[in-house]
Chain A
């Protein structure tokens, strides 16, 4: 069958930010869906968002309430959400209470009542909330499966997109005839992870749609449910073509060590212990980008944006003006129960808003602490997805990470995340001539020809300044306690390693 012979399934907006992406572009029109989950998981709110996004006076939504939550209380609370538009009631959205029918009659009468109302109103959307309370009653004239089958057939024929809402536990998923009949099955979960609540959404099935598999985090705010796709909403974005551009740090000597700068679209890791200047380097990187017309984002977790900008000012770097000009956004993300997906959402919003080319994450330790404990276990995997997604759209990421200073080892990162990065610059303290000095070295540069030099640097009022030539007079510098070599008396200065002469 050619493409033009196939029926086109119209996709309806879910009204839930982020959910359209997860369900493959929208909810199939005329589909028969179930929203399942435990009490308080957001089922009703999700259904309301769909209703408010799709109902019109010409094709209204019928919202059947059954036993359970009082309709008055439901509306009292639901109207607090920003999506709730009272003006849509009752012309576009009608709430119909079926509790009397359910209590006094059987499922056949319920079906009859729904049928009567649907035929009268010609709705585009039908919701039965809560469906589960209706079917818990002992059945008489019609068994449950038959009821569901007939309801699904009837509503599909009347061109209504339907949601049945039910309280279900995980173990009820198997062998349930209701789930077999449904075109779409949305499962909402909420679990307590130490002191945090983690909400997750799964599309267990969705006929005719290429939905994103897996568990997606979601949050309920005053705007209702907001979902965060595991793919960060980037499935529809084309990858940026590979770039050969090099991005400068604004530190000439460091650019030389990096064979001309960081390759655009790379993920760079600046690793070092406290006070070695990781944040200073990151600030210089973002400031240089702005100077060259590349908007940037700084995601900070350990200090507030104002403090971050003031520290930059002390280094002679103006981060206030570019913020006002829309060239820089400093994101402060520290609610302590974030998911990586939510963080990514904030970052991506900012990236798209200002067209950012550079992103600084300062620091990964702070990022991890901002996450809900339940997400920390997946930190590496989440970080991998995030970096892959962002670099895929051409953003160059610089992350800082604190490593324990050891005088016997030279770890790149306590997170074992070096495999996630294209380039690693290691900063560390070293004891030389009775002073605690600082050295830096480029450990890794994927696809680049970086210098192997170990260079001494200082943090001055102008930021990181790399001193002199490479340190050739000492052995064992990376141990932190080098030994002065005999070459210290040599008259001839060693050539500076720019990377060109040291191809590996």
Chain B
């Protein structure tokens, strides 16, 4: 399944945002882990743990063919990942010649797939509204970029 450009851009923005936020020495988690955890917390509130688990499992299944590093990954009952931070940030270069994913290895691919599912099910407008809840100060679109947004 091809990744749409808007999904890739969205994933890249979130990963960049968290990468910048995680530059402090005490931050040990990878950007993709922090993005995933924020998504889990934010989406879990309204879809429930079981609902998020289903979405994450589907995203994982879609991500695996492009990220062999995720082959051993498992989603737990509460939607969190076993050892996501330890997943080797490696990507199957042969399958990403089109540059479908933002850099960041298997975690980034998983995030991209998860966001793509949200866009498929909820549409761009509603997905962005939900993401703003988790990243109140991040810019997701032109409107926010131009006008800014209160944190």
Binding site for B on A (CB under 8 A): 65, 70-73, 75-76, 79, 86-91, 94-100
Contacts and interface: CB of A to CB of B under 8 A. Distances in A.
A98 B51 CA distance: 11
A71 B121 contact: no
Given A71-B47, A95-B46, A97-B51, A89 B123 contact: no
Contact of A96 (B45, B121, B123, B125): B45
Interface in B12-59: 44-51, 55
B132 to A, nearest CB: 8
A100 B49 contact: yes
The 8 closest A-B pairs by CB, nearest first: A97-B48, A95-B46, A86-B125, A86-B126, A90-B133, A89-B129, A99-B48, A71-B47
A88 B130 CA distance: 10
A87 B130 CA distance: 9
A109 to B, nearest CB: 14
Contacts of B61: none
A95 B44 CA distance: 10
Contacts of B49: 100
A65 B129 CA distance: 18
Interface in B109-150: 121-123, 125-126, 128-130, 132-133
B129 A86 contact: yes
A322 B129 CA distance: 47
A72 B126 contact: no
A72 B121 CA distance: 7
Nearest to B44: A97
Given A70-B51, A72-B55, A86-B129, A96 B122 contact: no
Contacts of A100: 48-50
Contacts of A73: 121
B50 A99 contact: yes
A71 B51 CA distance: 8
Residue among A72, A75, A79 facing the most chain B CB atoms (10 A cut-off): A72
A86 B47 contact: no
Nearest to A64: B46
Contacts of B121: 72-73, 76
Given A70-B51, A71-B51, A86-B129, A79 B46 contact: no
A89 B133 CA distance: 8
Interface in B59-118: none
28 contacts: A70-B47, A70-B51, A71-B46, A71-B48, A72-B121, A72-B122, A76-B121, A76-B122, A79-B122, A79-B123, A79-B125, A79-B126, A86-B123, A86-B125, A88-B129, A89-B129, A89-B130, A90-B129, A90-B132, A94-B45, A94-B46, A95-B46, A97-B44, A97-B45, A97-B46, A97-B47, A97-B51, A100-B48
Contacts of B126: 75, 79, 86, 89
